[in-house]
Structure 1
């Protein structure tokens, strides 16, 4: 029990009573205080044995965690401000708030973007403000990420730990591909960069915790600090004596929350005031939803933050959607896990068992009540493809040892935003005409587009089907056009798979018959005495 002169009410009235055991000239121990202060509104004090400042702890049972205008979470952000220690995330206390002097290569992980770092794709476009990272900025960020990724190889741990590391690496690569390949607004680029920095910092501290701090914590030597205190580390709040002792031993800043009734045996050398953080409070301009509401000591807070990163940033490859993240509790937490078996494909491959032993894989035509059926000639072309990846061109197999490969993120073409935002641009009219022609229910209306594709395919550096080189000065009948259409479709789908390793997006039938009187573009017609025949101008030259 406290003496009468050390009651909570008297301590609040005279905080200097905290110094009743002060001995600044004596070396510190884990449970003595270099600095101490009273926690507002509670019969508790906060004591730190090794830090030079006193951060205000984030406290609350129903706190709202949301992204701020600087794409961080303010005092609720474990990368920026000390949080309550949670057993599942012991490594979060090892995060560096600023880049170290001797590690300038990691500077891009600690700095936000300016408008200088953003380059518009086309400053003459109707839709303004669409662009990407400046190439030099991207290369610096990529180089910093690679330096951290390379350090992963030095970690020894359980399969769960290694899986957690690799899933961080996978997510980083997806984020970098998004920054490299997906034009978007400046605000979205800033968000993607901030999330890339977040995952990279977590991976960096993940590695440092496993290779530096955890081995020192478990070493059998004395509890004296094994290295100078590093004030660039975020640190953590804790009321667990074991945690305080372990953090003190490896010089991680730690703040011990102590009930006033236990003050009698605690030494505090100096009083301190809470440091007020200079964080942005305005919400993110993208109007993002609240990430988490609840106790800041709840591990679900960090699950929700990583959920946001995963679900908002992963989708560079639209055919590689993955399941939500899962968690584990071995050694240190795992974060994002991605399993290849859960990936989605629009035209799935048949398993080898459905064809018999030794038979090649093939695509199947996916069926769904909300999905219009494929145009028949294109459906047959899809089913005719032999999906043997060993036959694919080297460009379809991007690996570190294959510099000629087409990067996966460049295997998808994003439409110019002008096409979506306007009604009468030339590009939109061209796409509308092509879609109209390829899917028209009348073969005579499809014929010009079939021959246009035939002409393009003749320029491809490959062995063409015989029909693509065929010339008929007497014209083409309906049956001949239909056979040509099948040859064009099959050749296109097969070539696409061989060069990209997956099926293309294929035309689907219209849900209605188009008007026979309407044509989206003017075309010159030649009248002949023979009905049911289509003449290609090139055949007459």
Structure 2
């Protein structure tokens, strides 16, 4: 260690290589100095392990809690705000929710652990998110990181505000929203206050920023000039006789940072050298849900495509702990020799609805799902989608059952087909009770989920009965199916088999089956089914396995098709005129049709008439809008059928339902 020397006045400006403070870090080759800070935080260098801690952050390797080594790809961490006093306006950025006082369980849910944080508990955090989002939107920059971080912040906030989940996941979403607020604020500060100062004379240091370490003298110089706290990890031989060293200090260890093992059991997300790779593991865009990440069945974004729905035999094996059978996804319709019995099947659809002669018998299987199912509660079809569904070529034999995709959302007509009113009502009640839990499973892009076979949807939707405690009854076995489908997510004690009591649905507190609301419930199933099937196709055609930002960008692009920019669920009822692609006025659909065009234009074999077409515009004539809408709807329907082997679930006209009381 060199001897302490001073050159000139103690308040004279220091060169970037000088040391306002210097510390021995216990390494015989290196010391740490700072040209602008009076203390030296213990550097977090070498091999690090990143895992979630008990406070849903990532401990000492977390860049929002302790200074990290500066790298070009994440330099915005240098301007992350330090923790602030509890009475500061930014206190919500460090707030921790309380399960007893801040969390409300959903009434009527099949699962007793699902709920939402109270609006009043998260309102201050939401105000900060809204304010920062507006600031970013009004700031012009060529730096792609700023809009990227703003998008992540807004998406995590939407999940926190609207998506029912367990308290653990609600607490995690609070932390993710806080994290992306900090990083977005930091990046904006970098652009507004610091980026242009790196080449000038040193600016007064802002001690309220997190700061960073670096081993690069050029980086030290830039951050020193920009007024950002910086610490130089340097060889002790770089301390020359003319280097000004004002004081030698003892490194400051991390304080008030939780290092207890987290709710995921201390699972190691990253082990390796400190730097960009380890910090990226702390920025997971809100897609890390603790309780929905353990479903061991079908993987959504499988290499090569989507596995088909399991056969009932295989599915039974999975439910009792067997292995998931592997199948190669089929990307084109194979030629299948029809059985004689299939040829003799009575055709259910009339040929007048399609330009083709008539569907092959194996395509209908008793019900032609490309045709409308007539029922008083069935929403009206939208003209473009009606034409697209009727024009599909069904004259070729259908694929074998094992090669046809299952359903992410139950086929809506399934709930209305039972001839028994009691069974129909049970289907609807059970769907409303399990709806939030099922959407909880589907919400995260990298979570394995179950595409339940149609027959098993019937069994699951029949739901539990008062005789479910008797293991010998069919009703008990149905209830057992439900518990095993969700059993890797919810504990046995968290299932509610009691059917009495109201359930919440989009602001309505529903007792039993209310006929005036049922058209809206069925409409929502169509809309949800379309959303998840669109998402499935886009993940298939535009994979993002090697792009850490790809899923976030996909979510932003696809959410443009839907009102309020929400992709994974519907948060409020549309007006009587509909909204989004369901809006009755053609010109009101224009922005959503343009978002749809941008999505499908990325897919292989998209026609040039769609891909190269000019954007949809309000100035277009009604006839032009309708013609182009019809073309896009047909391309989507034909594409989905070619990939899945079954009819898609498509948007329908929004019915008139009463406003919530």
Which interval holds the TM-score relative to the shorter structure?
0.5 to 0.7
Q: Secondary structure at the match of 1:147?
A: helix
- Matching of residues 193-342 of structure 1 within 5 Å: 193-218=174-199, 221=200, 223-225=201-203, 227=204, 229-264=205-240, 265-278=242-255, 279-287=257-265, 289-297=267-275, 299-307=276-284, 309-310=286-287, 312=289
> How big is the alpha-carbon RMSD for the aligned residues of Structure 1 and Structure 2?
5.1
- Matching of residues 500-519 of structure 1 within 5 Å: none
Q: Secondary structure at the match of 2:39?
A: coil
Contact 2:52 2:264 in 1 (8 A): no
1:360 has 2:372 as partner: no
Contact 2:58 2:282 in 1 (8 A): no
Name 1:191's counterpart in structure 2: 172
Contact 1:120 1:129 in 2 (8 A): no
1:65 has 2:41 as partner: no
Distance 1:501 1:125, change over 3 A: closer
Distance 1:51 1:122, change over 3 A: same
1:369 positional shift = 2.2
Contact 2:412 2:526 in 1 (8 A): no
Distance in 2 (alpha carbons) for counterparts of 1:126 and 1:55: 50
1:34 has 2:10 as partner: no
Distance in 2 (alpha carbons) for counterparts of 1:45 and 1:500: 62
Contact 1:29 1:49 in 2 (8 A): yes
Distance in 2 (alpha carbons) for counterparts of 1:377 and 1:193: 34
1:369 has 2:345 as partner: no
Distance in 2 (alpha carbons) for counterparts of 1:491 and 1:136: 28
Q: Secondary structure at the match of 1:212?
A: helix
Distance in 2 (alpha carbons) for counterparts of 1:106 and 1:231: 17
Name 1:484's counterpart in structure 2: none
Q: 1:112 pairs with 96, 105, 112, which one?
A: 96
Distance in 2 (alpha carbons) for counterparts of 1:247 and 1:423: 63
Name 1:85's counterpart in structure 2: 70
Q: Give the unaligned 5+ runs of structure 2.
A: 293-299, 304-353, 356-382, 393-398, 418-431, 441-459, 470-474, 483-511, 531-576, 583-661
Distance 1:378 1:257, change over 3 A: same
1:234 positional shift = 0.9
Distance 1:281 1:147, change over 3 A: same
Distance in 2 (alpha carbons) for counterparts of 1:491 and 1:112: 34
Distance in 2 (alpha carbons) for counterparts of 1:501 and 1:168: 26
Name 1:532's counterpart in structure 2: none
1:165 positional shift = 3.2
How many positions carry a matched residue from both structures?
371
Q: Deviations over 1:280-299 (max 9, x none)?
A: 221112326322111003x2
Q: 1:175 pairs with 125, 134, 156, which one?
A: 156
Distance in 1 (alpha carbons) for counterparts of 2:254 and 2:63: 14
Distance in 2 (alpha carbons) for counterparts of 1:431 and 1:415: 20
Q: Secondary structure at the match of 1:88?
A: helix
Q: Deviations over 1:293-330 (max 9, x none)?
A: 11003x222333324744549x9xxxxx9999xxxxxx
Distance 1:495 1:291, change over 3 A: closer
Distance in 2 (alpha carbons) for counterparts of 1:206 and 1:489: 44
Distance in 1 (alpha carbons) for counterparts of 2:523 and 2:67: 60
1:151 has 2:135 as partner: yes
State the TM-score, normalized to the length of structure 1.
0.56
Contact 1:118 1:131 in 2 (8 A): no
Q: Secondary structure at the match of 1:74?
A: coil
1:126 positional shift = 9.3
1:70 positional shift = 1.3
1:129 positional shift = 4.9
Distance in 1 (alpha carbons) for counterparts of 2:32 and 2:13: 19
State the TM-score, normalized to the length of structure 2.
0.47
Distance 1:501 1:224, change over 3 A: closer
Contact 1:105 1:144 in 2 (8 A): no
Q: Give the unaligned 5+ runs of structure 1.
A: 1-10, 12-16, 316-320, 325-353, 383-409, 437-454, 463-487, 504-541
Name 2:41's counterpart in structure 1: 55
1:415 positional shift = 4.6
**Could you say which structure has the larger radius of gyration?**
1
Distance in 2 (alpha carbons) for counterparts of 1:216 and 1:81: 24
